[in-house]
Structure 1
């Protein structure tokens, strides 16, 4: 942002696009060089045009120079490169269009074009037909705004050198299988999965990216790789370097600028060589025999420590397994004991239930017998009562007649007795009136039988 601010005012300053000039025949005539025999062999012509940093904006006139093989229009103000697609420019071999204002990189198929430099322009997108040149072997796209590679993967394209530094790439997808040198530094790449097809790659620059590990490194890929630059990434664990053992021909490696390198400090080189002892150069510096020896000793020491650790782990595992087995046996025995106790309790409960059932059956049987006996006794009693009732019913008329007769007799006796007593009393009263001093009547009254008096009273009543 400071590049766009005026240092005195600290206010945004206006960026004015510099205006260029059109290319003319006079300008071309001054800059032509390399007089060579033409393709027909009958005449000679200039084959090289070098016009860097001349503020050229339009190149329309260039399409008339059909013998040109080398063109250098770097550091100009060119936006439109369609004149290079003219039908007469079929001898182009090297074209340098770096540091211009190009957005569309398309140039019609040039049968002899081998080297194309489009670095530091304003290219954002690549199309499948952007690079159809059958002999193109070197392409420079550094310093653009490309976020995805396209149009570079056809195996028929003999592309061997590709530079796409300082762009906006996030993956390595879309690469050509014929590549031998690849520069993808300064992007936003996080993994190496797109390098699967690059079996011929010899040199790879992945510095200043976002790589944290090599888990995405395809197994068996990059088998020809000799030089690898992974400096200034985000590798924090040195154990990630073990994955680089999959690169059998790797000899030159750069790793400085990663978090793990800062942590290791003075032991950094020895630690790296302990993981990759086949290196000849590390971070541009030759590996010494002393460093290799120290790395070998460190490796042996670590192998011994690893062996001891594994042995300890084995013993610990055996002890854990033994304890586990003992615990399992204990649990199994407890479970078996619990099952036995449950069976015993179940058997006891079953016996108690059986006894209870039998007791209830006996009680029920006794109750039923008792009820049957009571019912039988009741039936007998009822039969006796019924027989008695019948007998009484049979005897009731005679008894009633006798009773009535007795009552009649008693009533008659009572009436007769009462009459006799009255008569007797009258007679006695009369006699007393006649003979008041005679004793015999008193004696007679005294000697009267009490039982007779009582009978008389009953009859009276």
Structure 2
């Protein structure tokens, strides 16, 4: 999957936000998804699940100006799909692509998850929906998801991140949203959490994240460190650089996991 290989988490990498903004400006004029466009984007011939036939399993449809992807639903063998830099609002046609492992939908216009488009994608491990118009994660489920990137949306609350919907999630990226609290993430297997560039004032609910090793909170509005829990014994890296009084407490923050 060489064309699609990349670091799934862009958080706290210098220039990451600029990269996303540049990509957003590269959208092209609207056009309909045709069989010809699909054929041009197909690659990577592999055996199908039963081993008796072959099919292309990689599809690159980025920068095609697409508003509708209904024509994609018959390509059931696709495993790697890039839909970045289009005009998509509805991802429900993806529900039939049950072999998907990797999906990128960055820089589109998705506002919600109609009809739980990923509920049947039981093999999907990597999902990026950065730079869209999401305000919450209602309807988003990922039974096999290990990495989820929601950078640069308008998400205000986290109550959709429950263990039953994301039992395997290890990395969660929510940089550049509109969050005011960390409460609502009930993911006991989560190891990396990126929450930089939000409006977080309070640390709440973190005691549930006992396996967390990395927590990024820089450029928020933290009023105190209350909420960092002694149960977070796996925490190895914590970045809470914030303007104001909190900026003087970095040494204390970084070493908290050594105590208690």
Q: Which residue in 2 is equivalent to 1:180?
A: 191
- DSSP-derived class of the 1:61 partner: helix
Residue in 2 that maps onto 1:458: none
Mind listing any 5+ residue stretches in structure 2 that lack a counterpart?
Answer: 1-26
Offset, 1:237: 7.3
Q: Is 1:151 matched with 2:181?
A: no
Shift in Å, 1:18:
7.6
Deviations along 1:394-425, one digit per CA (max 9) or x if unpaired, are xxxxxxxxxxxxxxxxxxxxxxxxxxxxxxxx
**Paired residue for 2:59, among 37, 42, 49?**
49
Aligned-partner Cα distance in 2 for 1:158–1:126: 17
DSSP 3-state at the match of 1:182: strand
Q: Which has the higher contact order (CA 8 A, sep 6+)?
A: 2
Residue of 191, 197, 201 corresponding to 2:202: 191
Question: Mapping of 1:295-306 within 5 angstroms?
Answer: none
SS in 2 for 1:48: strand
Aligned partner of 1:309 in structure 2 is none
Q: Is the 8 A contact 1:191 1:217 kept in 2?
A: no
Within the candidate set 93, 100, 103, 1:92 is matched to 100
SS of equivalent residue, structure 2 residue 148: strand
Distance 1:240 1:139 in 2: 28
1:24-423 equivalent positions in 2, closer than 5 A: 24-86=34-96, 89-105=97-113, 106-109=116-119, 110-127=121-138, 129-131=139-141, 133-154=142-163, 157-175=167-185, 176-218=187-229, 220-236=230-246, 238=248, 241-242=251-252, 245-248=255-258
Helix, strand or coil: the match of 2:85?
coil
Query: Structure 1 stretches of 5 or more lacking a match?
Result: 1-16, 250-461
Deviations along 1:78-132, one digit per CA (max 9) or x if unpaired, are 111111123xx110111101100111134141111111111100011221x421x
Q: Deviations over 1:256-307 (max 9, x none)?
A: xxxxxxxxxxxxxxxxxxxxxxxxxxxxxxxxxxxxxxxxxxxxxxxxxxxx
- Runs of 4+ aligned residues of structure 1 deviating over 6 Å after TM superposition are none
CA RMSD of superposed structures (Å): 2.1
Number of residue pairs matched? 228
List per-residue Cα deviations over 1:25-63 (Å, max 9, x = no partner).
Answer: 111111101111110101111000012112111101000
Q: CA deviation at 1:212?
A: 3.1
User: Higher helix share goes to which structure?
Assistant: 1
Q: Larger C-alpha radius of gyration, 1 or 2?
A: 1
Q: Deviations over 1:309-338 (max 9, x none)?
A: xxxxxxxxxxxxxxxxxxxxxxxxxxxxxx
Structure 1 residues 186 and 42, CA gap change in structure 2 (3 angstroms):
same
**Residue pair 2:60, 2:81 contacting (<8 A) in 1 also:** yes
Q: SS in structure 1 opposite 2:205? A: helix
Shift in alpha-carbon separation, 1:18–1:28, aligned structure 2, 3 A: closer
Q: 1:238 deviation in Å?
A: 3.8
What's the CA shift for 1:240? 7.5
Deviation at 1:184, TM superposition (A): 0.4
Q: State whether residues 19 and 57 of structure 1, in contact with CA within 8 Å, keep that contact through their aligned partners in structure 2.
A: no
